[in-house]
Structure 1
Amino acid sequence: MFYQIRYQTGEIKDMVAEMRKGSIPCMDVDDMNEFNWVVNKLEEHNIYLAKNIPFDKDARDRINEPEFEFRAAFSSSKDSEDNLMYIDFYFEPFVEEDYDPIFGD
């Protein structure tokens, strides 16, 4: 069975510790606004988004993990691509609010 810890936005310090150990932590966020909030919080810990490296949408198996959105690269210094660290971001599944009833309800 596949098991992984997915950090929540309130667990930034724990996630930073994992990143500094060389692990690739996973984080649940709701949307890009919350992703940007996490990026700002990471900057408080001197971890910066590597803006020149595109998000890797193929880093995980999207068939087995459909909520996986992308892997983002981070660095311990601004505008640097040295000593990269990564986080796998998972977005909340999109729930359709309007749909046709199946049984004519």
Structure 2
Amino acid sequence: MRRLFNILFRSFLAACAAGLVVSGVAYFLLRASVPKYEEDFSVEGIEGPVDILRDASAIPHISTGSAAEAYFALGFIYTQDRLGQLLKTRRAAQALLPLEQMGEI
């Protein structure tokens, strides 16, 4: 009976350790997939300051002096949030192009 208890106890400890490892890896991967919104960027061609503030739900709010800068900020936000999707779509589109044109993009 004692041997059965030891086997069950060790199995339980192994399952808990495996659960902790899986949880740690999942946390690391989810944390790494979120873009860093706190970074400051300087871009040539933008004349005035552009502020992109995100609320608690990560919804962006753009404040700027001109419409052109607001459109640039909107494209920047879209790219920042959906970079993985954009890269995947680009790779899929390149696979459909003829081989001669694949180096041009």
State the TM-score, normalizing by the size of structure 1: 0.21
State the TM-score, normalizing by the size of structure 2: 0.21
Whose helix proportion is higher, 1 or 2? 2
Higher relative contact order (CA 8 A, sep 6+): 1
Whose strand proportion is higher, 1 or 2? 1
Structure of greater Rg: 2
